[in-house]
């Protein structure tokens, strides 16, 4: 099957701000500095895709029915554009980054999550994982992002799709997502196993566990 160009899609525009705009200072969490650049932080190789025909996103674990979403399936879902601040545990923060994607809550409408599920383990190309609570994901600013500043993500920033959880340190914003595993209870992902915090709230400086 040939897929239509997904990026031609007309987007519903919506601005979400998760931090008060009264001054830049109070938008910067403790121990962070601001950058205008967009650093790349990747453990391991960067995946490259010639086509999205073979790409899919799998939902498994504590769900009523396992599902596999194609790129076209996802592009049929409602989208949102939001401008948010991002904070990396390596101490850089970047203000006013604009992303377009599928709001987590829209995506979730397609999934029959079993009542015992409390967390997800996000699975990425090449084995990167990260864990997040369903209560954390359940927010206006969580999305499956595929455009950055109106353009497709570059390969190094997660093309074709990444999770965006701006209120946590950026390692939770998994690039090159391929699956969500719903779990009863929490289980550490890649960096969490190496000592990063299970929650990763930048405002509480939850850097290490």
Ligand X SMILES: Nc1nc2c(c(=O)[nH]1)N[C@H]1C(S)=C(S)[C@@H](COP(=O)(O)O)O[C@H]1N2
List contacts with ligand X (CB under 6 A): 39-43, 88, 124, 128, 157-158, 170-171, 173-176
Tell how strand 143-148 and strand 119-124 pair up.
unpaired
> How many other CB atoms are there within 10 angstroms of residue 17's CB atom?
13
Q: Which is nearer to Mo ion, 99 or 169 (CB)?
A: 169
Among 41, 43, 150, 194, binds Mo ion (CB under 5 A): 41
Closest to 154 measured CA to CA, from 39, 75, 77: 39
Q: Does 111 bind Mo ion (CB under 5 A)?
A: no
143 binds, among Mo ion, ligand X, none (CB under 5 to 8 A by kind): none
Q: Which is nearer to ligand X, 41 or 184 (CB)?
A: 41
Query: What are the beta bridge partners of residue 84?
Result: 97
Smallest gap from residue 92 Cβ to ligand X (A): 8
* Alpha-carbon span 150 to 98, nearest angstrom: 8
Q: Which is nearer to ligand X, 40 or 78 (CB)?
A: 40
Q: Does 88 bind Mo ion (CB under 5 A)?
A: yes
Tell how strand 151-152 and strand 143-148 pair up.
antiparallel
Smallest gap from residue 112 Cβ to ligand X (A): 26
Q: Does 196 bind Mo ion (CB under 5 A)?
A: no
Among 69, 99, 107, 171, binds Mo ion (CB under 5 A): 171
* Alpha-carbon span 107 to 58, nearest angstrom: 12
* Alpha-carbon span 145 to 159, nearest angstrom: 9
* Alpha-carbon span 133 to 167, nearest angstrom: 13
Smallest gap from residue 194 Cβ to ligand X (A): 11
* Binding site residues, Mo ion, CB under 5 A: 41, 88-89, 171
């Amino acid at each position: 099957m040939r897929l239509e160009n997904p990026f031609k899609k007309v987007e519903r525009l919506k601005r979400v701000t998760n931090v008060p705009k009264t001054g830049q200072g109070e938008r910067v969490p403790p121990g962070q500095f601001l950058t205008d650049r967009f650093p790349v932080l990747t453990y391991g190789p960067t995946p490259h895709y010639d086509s999205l025909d073979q790409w899919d996103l799998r939902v498994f674990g504590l769900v009523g029915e396992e599902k596999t979403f194609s790129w076209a399936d996802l592009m049929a879902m409602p989208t949102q554009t939001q401008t948010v601040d991002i904070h990396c545990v390596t101490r850089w923060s970047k203000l006013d980054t604009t992303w377009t994607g599928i709001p987590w809550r829209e995506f979730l409408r397609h999934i029959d999550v079993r009542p015992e599920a409390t967390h997800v383990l996000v699975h990425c190309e090449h084995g990167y994982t990260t864990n997040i609570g369903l209560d954390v994901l359940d927010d206006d600013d969580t999305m499956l992002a595929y455009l950055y500043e109106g353009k497709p993500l570059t390969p190094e920033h997660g093309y074709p799709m990444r999770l965006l959880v701006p209120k946590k340190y950026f390692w939770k914003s998994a690039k090159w997502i391929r699956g969500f595993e719903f779990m009863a209870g929490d289980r550490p992902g890649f960096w969490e196993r190496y000592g990063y915090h299970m929650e990763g709230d930048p405002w509480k400086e939850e850097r290490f566990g």
